[in-house]
Structure 1
Amino acid sequence: MTTDFDAYLSSQRDKHLNELQEFLRFPSISTLSEHASDVLQCAEHLATLARQVGFEHIQLLQTPKHPVLYADWLHAEGKPTVLVYGHYDVQPVDPLRLWETPPFEPTIRDGKIYARGSSDDKGQVFMHLKSFEALLQTTGTLPVNVKLCIEGEEEIGSPHLPAVLEQHKDLFAADVLVISDTTILGPNRPSVCYGLRGLAALQVDVYGAKGDLHSGLYGGAIQNPLHAMVELLASLHDDNGVVQVNGFYDNVQEISAQEREAFAKLAPDDSALAQSLGVTELFGETGYTTLEREWVRPTLELNGVYGGFQGEGTKTVIPSSAHAKITCRLVPNQDPADIQQKIKKHLQEFAPPGVRVEVTLHDKGNPYVTPFDHPVIQLAATAYEQAYGVSAAFTRMGGSIPIVEAFANVLHLPAVLMGFGLDTENFHAPNEHFSLDNFDKGLRTLCYYWLGLDEAFHSQQA
């Protein structure tokens, strides 16, 4: 069935893709200080896009680092208010040499748009704006009231957004929170996410001599920080992938029999998944399936290990220091701050002789799980089915959106996580891309959702 918004979106597709490419050109890398002006310019551009759609009361709420965009459309009297959250910041692009096309020069090929941020999360934020535009242009109004909260610090753990929400509770007050920053199960396999893992990040630095030393003159006489780092990091897991930090699993909420059964029905073929990832076999904590390890078990991963000579050829030195970056994905009942302290204690206790170990604590975010029988969450599955033509599943996700739990605590909103990305789209990696099939179907899914939200919300109130 063709709807007015469907015809509008079809007629405007080329224009919308050009606008998306313009949005993707901003190198809004929030973690790198040299890109601070780019992040600000991206926020200002997003404000312009919102104004062009028809949003009002547009503000860039300042934080100690990057601003939060607020905008609203509040003319649906008696209707619920939806708060749409997303982020306009992106991950760094390293290693640049692995990109087939420049990360901030968007390219469309093979039914996908390639650029940093195309899937995570600019592409999905852009879809929200255009879904509202489609309804305004075809009906002259929106079926619900809308507020936008689009931040520029999600990729660094949203450190300042909780304070912004506390300070502006009335401004952000709403009835339901909708986020598109998650994935679906696969091509034409839509899914509604009801759980996210939390996050805890650290850096460990190992220091030896006061400067690099000649490996011939001093080799065998002092501890090598790189050797010490390798030994220290190896102590974090056993041979079966089980984390060896004392107390790491103490508060982990075990998976229920019902969820285990549901996950089994969604389970991927492990051999096919390994082949698609280019590895010889999958690996992880014993006693759990791949989906269970990805969705409901905690992890401790090394994100970077470096030190010493990095150039071409050989340089015979004993480096003065070595460094590693660690992140954990956490599950319900795990406290990120508690996990950081336990890992810090482990790293200090297992420090090899002859070196000094320093541990710096970084980003953290709580896990989030919500009951998925709420009508506004069930509506998401209905909207997916209307747009995709197939039933949607209910899933958890291994990634983290640290701010979701803060929205629940500060604003007391049910969160609907209805994303359109694919696990294979290389977000956080070179050659990030976004499926244009999901772009097209996602726009329609969102329109169906907005049109059904008032009825779903009031069915909960009845």
Structure 2
Amino acid sequence: MTDQEQVKRYLEQERERHLEEVMAFVRIPSISSSSEHKAHMQEAAEWLASSLRTAGLEHVEVMQTAGHPVVYGDWLHAPGQPTALIYGHYDVQPVEPLSEWQTPPFEPVIRDGKLYGRGATDDKAQMYTHIKTVEAFLQTVGKLPVNVKFCLEGEEEIASPNLSPFLQAQAEKLAADLIVISDGPMHDEGMPSICYGLRGLCGFEIHVKGPKNDLHSGLYGGGVTNPVTALVELLGSMKDADGRVTIEGFYDKVHPLTDADREASHPLQLDEAKIARELNVPALSGEKGYTFLERTSARPTLEINGIYGGHQGEGLKPIVPSSAGAKVSCRLVDEQDPDEIMAQIRAHIDRHTPAGVTVSVQQTHRGKPFYISPEHAFIRAAATAYTDGFGKAPVFIRSGGSIPIVETFAKLLHAPVVMMDFGLPGENMHGPNEHFHLENFDRGIATLCRYWRELASVSTQ
């Protein structure tokens, strides 16, 4: 029996046990944002450490941070082969509203081939595919094709405040040739995908101050600058009629989409009329000259997330408000830097602030974009692995969302990040009735088994 056959047979024989273990993991209410669950966070970390030891990993540690612990383990006995650092997170989102759950969020059940429970897809079952893949190799053939390290944290759902210092302090221990992450959805059911780009984020709040207090509009209206009007003018100055951001320098580090970029997205083109109907809007809109998919994944944006000022209660209150404000976010691409973008926005606001008001700006969020070439050897190996595991070649996608820790890993550990997701868009991440399709648990493990073998081939080329 070949090594490959031994691993496959082991996974088939142990599948029910593996699913029982995932369900036990989901039962732990590891909500990182709640202090009342601090003991559960430690319990989840210790549970993971035990799972790593059972799988055959070495040097397993539960490493304390200023917040929740990080679980580490490794197997480093493949000389001359790449070292992959596998990242995942064991913390989960809060469960409210409880009334919308069909079954209790921490009492996992399997229905119609899906595992239901908080954290099922984000990220416990996806993370567990990696542990069980390693276990299958080590408990059968006794070795892996490559070297592996695990870095499993407990603060991803609260923006990983202590992970960056941890990576800096433990850079030597965590050194690797690549980082592998499974913590998101594929493009669609039956359509495996490899995400090679993430947008960055620059969030900020504008506060416009006018008179010392609200004024009677009959006595002062027309004679004093209205902060709400000033805010609207400021926000309006940030985009033109074609949907293009007018902040000076905003596009300086944005790469034009090439013909190859656009050809790569052809298999993913969406029915824009259908999307408009589903959203119940008359039409889609955005930056002129780009498709909906390009606007929402490969182009930068500036969006007003909220606006406040003046009387918000029932009826009319004729005043000149004393202040107004707005919350704004920019999604960034390519080489845009959130701090540079913020400086450009401040300069724009200084140039366009109307007379009679003062404006203050506070940056609230920052995260750099991430990009890896689809032609990178580690990415091509992932494509081969997906084709084997899912029986279908993956599509290559950029994500419109932001995962700042991905860029942080790449920057601090100086290694490419390969995102190998096995979830699906409709699995209610962060929402009620979160679930994970178990067929993708099996396919994910099969994909990873092939990936480690492919990486070994890459290293000898």
Please tell me the TM-score bracket, short chain as reference: 0.7 to 0.9
Q: 1:336 aligns with which of 335, 338, 342?
A: 338
Q: Count residues with an aligned counterpart.
A: 456
Structure 1 Cα separation of the partners of residues 77 and 336 of structure 2: 42
The two structures have a TM-score, normalised by structure 2, of 0.82
Structure 2 Cα separation of the partners of residues 455 and 8 of structure 1: 23
Please say if residues 215 and 322 of structure 2, whose CA atoms lie closer than 8 Å, have aligned partners that are also in contact.
Answer: no
Q: 1:263 aligns with which of 240, 262, 265?
A: 265
Q: 2:386 aligns with which of 350, 363, 384?
A: 384
Q: Deviations over 1:283-335 (max 9, x none)?
A: 3322111221122101234556678999xx96999999877554332101200
Corresponding letter in the other structure for 2:64: Q
Matched, 1:296 2:298: yes
Shift of 1:393: 2.3
Shift of 1:47: 2.3
Q: Which ranges of structure 1 fall in alignment gaps of 5 or more residues? A: none
Shift of 1:107: 4.4
Please say if residues 157 and 364 of structure 1, whose CA atoms lie closer than 8 Å, have aligned partners that are also in contact.
Answer: no
Shift of 1:92: 4.9
Shift of the 117–219 alpha-carbon distance from structure 1 to 2, 3 Å rule, reads farther
Shift of the 95–304 alpha-carbon distance from structure 1 to 2, 3 Å rule, reads farther
Q: 2:88 aligns with which of 86, 89, 92?
A: 86
The RMSD of aligned alpha carbons is: 4.0
Shift of the 66–107 alpha-carbon distance from structure 1 to 2, 3 Å rule, reads same
* Residue equivalent to 2:456: 454
Shift of the 218–4 alpha-carbon distance from structure 1 to 2, 3 Å rule, reads farther
* Residue equivalent to 1:201: 203
Shift of 1:72: 0.9
Question: Tell me, what secondary structure is at the counterpart of 1:113?
Answer: strand
* Residue equivalent to 2:52: 50
What percent of counterpart residues are identical? Answer: 50
* Residue equivalent to 2:131: 129
* Residue equivalent to 1:425: 427
Shift of 1:44: 3.1
Corresponding letter in the other structure for 2:44: C
Please say if residues 112 and 435 of structure 1, whose CA atoms lie closer than 8 Å, have aligned partners that are also in contact.
Answer: yes
* Residue equivalent to 1:69: 71
Structure 2 Cα separation of the partners of residues 36 and 236 of structure 1: 43
Matched, 1:176 2:178: yes
Please say if residues 215 and 316 of structure 1, whose CA atoms lie closer than 8 Å, have aligned partners that are also in contact.
Answer: no
Q: 1:282 aligns with which of 284, 291, 298?
A: 284
Shift of 1:282: 3.4
* Residue equivalent to 1:143: 145
The two structures have a TM-score, normalised by structure 1, of 0.81
Structure 2 Cα separation of the partners of residues 144 and 394 of structure 1: 25
Q: Deviations over 1:114-149 (max 9, x none)?
A: 444333333321211121122223323322221011
Matched, 1:371 2:370: no
Q: 2:6 aligns with which of 4, 7, 15?
A: 4
Corresponding letter in the other structure for 1:394: F
Please say if residues 156 and 363 of structure 1, whose CA atoms lie closer than 8 Å, have aligned partners that are also in contact.
Answer: no
* Residue equivalent to 1:394: 396
Shift of 1:373: 2.6
Please say if residues 426 and 432 of structure 1, whose CA atoms lie closer than 8 Å, have aligned partners that are also in contact.
Answer: yes
Corresponding letter in the other structure for 2:403: I
Corresponding letter in the other structure for 2:332: L
Shift of 1:356: 6.9
Corresponding letter in the other structure for 1:15: R
Please say if residues 64 and 70 of structure 2, whose CA atoms lie closer than 8 Å, have aligned partners that are also in contact.
Answer: yes
Structure 2 Cα separation of the partners of residues 340 and 444 of structure 1: 44
Q: 2:119 aligns with which of 117, 120, 125?
A: 117
